[in-house]
Amino acid sequence: MDTLVTNGTLLTMRGERLGIVDGDSPARETGEGGGAVAVDDGRISYVGPAAEGPDPGDAEEVVDAEGGVVMPGLVNAHTHMAHTLLRGGAQDVPEIEWMNRALGPLSAHADEADRVAGARLGVLEAVRAGATTICEYAGEVGTLVEEVYQPLGVDVVAVETINEVPDERGDLGPRELYPFDREQGETALARADRLFERFGDDPLVTPAYGPQALDMVSPELLQTVQQHAHERGAKLHLHTAQGERESIQIEERYGAEESTVSVLDDLGIVDDSLVAVHCHGATPAERRRLAEGGAAMLGCPSSIAAIDGIVPPVAEFREYDAPVGIGTDQAPGPGHHSMVREARTAATLSKVERTDPTALTAPEALRLATVGGAEALGIDDEVGTLEEGTRADLLVVETDQLSTAPAVESPLHTAVPNLVYSTTGREVRDVFVAGEPVLRDGAFVDADPEAAVAEATERARALYERASEDWRAADSELVAAVDDGWL
């Protein structure tokens, strides 16, 4: 036995609840109580009460989780980590401005080294707060896998962005159709195909296809991408019904009576390979159609609240029994990559939207951040739960801190709501991926977060300087905020 994590309260996520295992609490004083998780060769070999588990003397390393919760690693199911370099650069603007007039003039000046530095900063932030699996959605995503994810030893679902729209579109009006460049789209599709050969031997990398959105790919290319996904048994991640900008483009291209979901349905895209991201622009009937068609849904509550002023329908999709996960999207706008913060945002906004304090409870939010995301990404046979045979991706979260105490086990487990509503992310003490320690006692084992922050800051300063003229010419509301002395 390589590692035994013992003496904590387990949240296994097995079954349809949290799968709580807390053993014989009074025995904790002797170090023999609580639950235990044994790890052999990167996989879980035992989960259950410590008193019934393996002898600690048989383990090469014993991790004492007393005063803490042991749970599956969090699954950040949708991110664009490279944009972390631009954190704080695109927020508090109308949705119609956000992409083309706020973020676009800045991101257009980012080079490959900038993208890597931004991704490294974002991934370290996410892992520090308990993420062990991250879905990275990016062009040239393979570079980020090799430069950031593999060195850190973190699970990544690598989604190659595929679109046919040239970057230079800032001067287009909302109702001017984006031009399509089929060669650009085919080149991106070829990159996506190569991911499967490039990373086929790495069990921590799951390639996937990322047609960016229906307004950014032609129907012909979208159907071709779907065919490639089917042939490889892969997922197709599509930003779906994600706001006014997209809906205007769909109306202009396909007709006033059409919507993103209606067109996807007509094209035969709605099936169990589809991972529909956001979906806040879809009607309830359209959301039900996606779920009934077999699609999974990923919501990014902090991002969509900040960029669109809308609550993504994660609670609604759960009611349709569809796989649902949550992610942090990109840092410009929502500002963070902490999945415990995202779980809190998902739960709180769902309650506000429905004027119902029982909507999306803390246990349900924890499932969205773990096994829910794994199911939506199609990797729940490997991650998202603590059970024998699955990959040993797990966390120890301290519940005896100022932000999470007191944690009691009777008559209820207060650690569960405290994890969602009180945790900041800094309470994550230990992070293991495939049984290997990535974070121990709150410190990275191999990575250098201070160096990552310094590099990102230096590169951000240079990028903003290069982009300054274009950013001002785009004339988003942020320009007026600067001129008026607000920023």
pLDDT digits (tens, 9 = 90+) for 40-78: 999 999 999 999 999 999 999 999 999 899 999 999 999
Q: What does pTM read for this prediction?
A: 0.95
- Dihedral (C-alpha) 349, 350, 353, 356: value to the nearest 10 degrees? -120
**CA nearest neighbour of 399 among 5, 2, 8:** 8
User: 254 and 169 in one domain?
Assistant: yes
The reply to whether 470 falls in a domain is no
Q: Are 83 and 44 members of one domain?
A: no
Same domain membership, residue 199 and residue 163: yes
Q: Domain tally for the chain? A: 2
Considering the domain boundaries, does residue 61 fall inside one? yes
Domain boundary among 346, 377, 408: 377
Tell me: do 37 and 181 sit in the same domain.
no
Q: How confident is the model at residue 29 (pLDDT cuts 50, 70, 90)?
A: very low
CATH number (domain holding residue 111): 3.20.20.140
450 lies in some domain: no
- CATH number, residue 416: 2.30.40.10
Domain of 97 in residue numbering reads as 74-377
Residues 225, 361: one domain? yes
Dump pLDDT digits (tens) for 168-211. 655 666 677 888 999 999 999 999 999 999 999 999 999 999 99
pLDDT tens by residue, 32-43: 568 999 999 999
Last residue of a domain, one of 408, 427, 444: 444
Q: Are residues 396 and 370 in the same domain?
A: no
pLDDT tens digits, 285-312: 999 999 999 999 999 999 999 999 999 9
Domain boundary among 377, 399, 415: 377
With respect to residue 406, please indicate whether it lies within any of the assigned structural domains. yes
Same domain, 32 and 125: no
318 and 403 inside one domain: no
Please give the residue that has the higher pLDDT: either 471 or 173.
471
Same domain, 65 and 190: no
Residue 79 and residue 56 share a domain? no
Band the pLDDT of 167: cuts 50, 70, 90.
confident
Whether 38 is in a domain gets the answer: yes
